[in-house]
Structure 1
Amino acid sequence: MSEFRFKQFSVTQDNCGMKVSTDGVLLGAWADPKQAKNSLDIGTGTGLLSLMLAQRFQHLSLTAIEYDPAAYACATQNVNASPFAAQIQLRQGDITQWHTCTRFEHIVCNPPYFTSGQTARDAKRATARHAHTLTHEALLHVLAERLTPRGCADLILPVTEGERLIADATQYDLHLHRQVYVHSTPSKPASRLLFTLSPTTHPLISDTLVLRDDHNHFTPAFAALTRDFYLKLP
């Protein structure tokens, strides 16, 4: 059984196309629902993001939706085995076909990002990773439709795809509020972009984050961000 253990919960991921990754942990630790009462986790996969947000924000009511039935079953198992099951409602289905009047003060999503010829090795990973199942245009439409006027959406993408999505977001009246360029080491260019979109304009907050130093040790900034989750961090 493939299991990833965190300090307050564990994630079983055998039948889930998207395994626990640094991207997911980064987003779950960085996302900021602020005073939001409800949050929507789009494409929850193993349930990781919802579990991390539930641990960080005990007041937050989360709805996690997953398209793939096997991943949904995996998320259900992980949530039910955690101390945070009461905070998280799981749904199986296509977010673009979910008809609800509910609007959310916060949305979190680790979107698919293979947008061209790349092919993942198995069908589950392809479904989880390829933007053919949830295009970035469809995602932006969902964000614009589901967010409250002062709500916000936190996402992570490779830099090129993230910058493209941010540019496209203006067509949906979604505005960039926060962005963090993530570097794996000090000498490498940024590989990921954490960013926040909102229907309301805010002053832009921009930053950088380096994950490991030249000796391959976690930087103090990355350790501080993820300390509440990784077992290897005291």
Structure 2
Amino acid sequence: MSRSFSFKQFTINDHGCGMPISTDGVLLGAWARLPQHGHIVDIGTGSGLLALMAAQRTSTAVITAIELDVAAITAATANFATSPWSSRLQCIDSDINHWCQAIAAESIDSIICNPPYFNTGQQAQRQHRATARHTDTLSHQQLLATIRHLLTTDGCASLILPTYEGQQLLTQAAAYGLYCQRRCDVRSTPHKPFMRTLIELTKNSAITEQHQLCIHTENSYSSDFIALTKDFYLKM
């Protein structure tokens, strides 16, 4: 089924993609710390949401989107072509581990990634969805090694994961010379447990800035959520 999503400055069609457009992606794309110039890499771009948000938020930064799934590559390439930033966006058909080997170390200023997160359990029946959701194609160890290799000394990588999986990744990060500079724990309502964690990793050891975000209050979006996403959602 072909589905089209309109944001304030771009439109996305996610036909055939393993994972549909989600609040997770919008949160990460709005929260990530991005350089106005330089080179940004979106690992596992899917339909291209994070790459497009990065393009909207930056002046001249070049964004390279890496993707394995053929249907997602087709969708992302088309979405990039119809955006106002087509000259700064490219989608590469590659496994990130293979692509990483061909790229000079410490050459990427920022990495954004909404990574697979299920380490165990039954995979989704549709292969596209299984690839997007399970770590078989990109383990957290591989992701951390890739971040370590690609990031410049002052660069950062921004991720979003379910809270438990995010904590697991953070316990492994120091072994790869990576440190959590910022984190934001996200819950849907004030009385629900935290469900997602936004994470910023750098090569520089620092005291972690810790924040919390609640998406809804009563029957509306919270003021914090609106402030974070208002440049993208049409009705914010």
TM-score (norm 1): 0.96
CA distance in 2, matches of 1:34, 1:63: 14
Aligned to 1:159: 163
Q: Look up the match of 1:53.
A: 54
Instruction: Give 1:101's aligned residue.
Output: 104
Show the 5 A alignment for 1:193-212: 193-212=197-216
Residue 28 of structure 1, CA deviation: 0.3
The question of whether the paired residues in 2 share the 8 Å contact of 1:36 and 1:106 is answered with: no
Q: Which residue of 1 aligns with 2:234?
A: 231
Stretch deviating more after TM superposition (198-207 or 70-79): 198-207
Equivalent position amino acid for 1:111 in 2? P
2:77–2:90 contact (8 Å) kept in structure 1: no
Partner Cα distance (1:116, 1:76) in 2:
32
Structure 1, 29-38 or 74-83: larger mean CA deviation:
29-38
Tell me, in whole angstroms, the C-alpha distance in 2 between the residues paired with 1:39 and 1:183.
28
SS at match of 1:118: coil
The amino acid that maps onto 1:232 is K
Residue in structure 2 matching 1:218, options 218, 221, 225: 221
Report the CA distance between 1:96 and its aligned residue.
0.4
Tell me whether 1:168 sits opposite 2:169 in the alignment: no
Q: Distance in 2 between matches of 1:82 and 1:69?
A: 20
Question: Which residue does the alignment assign to 1:128?
Answer: 132
User: Once superposed, which parts of structure 1, at least 4 consecutive aligned residues long, lie more than 2 Å away?
Assistant: none
How many residue pairs align between the two structures?
232
Q: Name the counterpart of 2:84.
A: 83
In the TM superposition, what is the alpha-carbon distance from 1:86 to its structure 2 partner? 1.1
Superposed CA offset, 1:22-71 (max 9, x none): 00000000011145521111000000001001001122111111011111
Return 5+ residue gaps in structure 1 as ranges.
none
Matches within 5 A, 1:19-30: 19-30=20-31
Please give the secondary structure, in 2, of the residue aligned with 1:33. coil
Q: How does 1:62-73 map to 2 (within 5 A)?
A: 62-73=63-74
**SS at 1:207 equivalent:** strand
Does the 8 Å contact 2:36/2:58 carry over to 1?
no
User: What is the CA distance between 1:118 and its match in structure 2?
Assistant: 3.3
